Structure 1
């Protein structure tokens, strides 16, 4: 059921990058974040929640960042990662491609295509 909560608000300067997702988020996702933070503050650790899904990262690379934001806030803080842009600079690679739009003209598109530093990301 964690796919119902993937729409958590985040800020980014990458406003023209395709597939970035919805930066505004949803109230449902924000409510879950507040609940998880309460549990984490009580334990003093990044514990208290587990997300299970068969399709964790489907539509955008931002979905993995959102999972880290929910489940590993102390680790993000330890690595001085305070926003999506800092996380993306470390763990993703942005590419520029040229695509045909619906009118047949060529348009330049930027996308976050791949993850980098996979062992560090898994840790």
Structure 2
């Protein structure tokens, strides 16, 4: 029953996200993220296939979870975030919004650098003393 509810909620959020492409007051990205959340929980098979996919391993598992990201990868990530923040900064002529975008961007740079360059997760293996 729980799997059916997750699948149905995923269908609803997918429909709302798709409508959000055409209706500016519906946030497409948020609904698509919710769709992924619900659909991955609706089936153990979908979840396992997703976390074992090369895309997930390359873009989420290695750099974010295991914190194995190169300096070039961090620079690339911050550049992409910069481009995302630059678009509204150029399109809207409002000084306060631009100041807020700069503050939020700097918050991302500081927070992500602290997280990714902070203490690494170490996996300790137990050796048996026979």
**Larger radius of gyration between Structure 1 and Structure 2:** 2
Shared topology, TM-score over 0.5?
A: no
Q: Which has the higher contact order (CA 8 A, sep 6+)?
A: 1
Per residue, is there more helix in 1 or in 2? Answer: 2
Give the structure with the larger strand fraction: 1
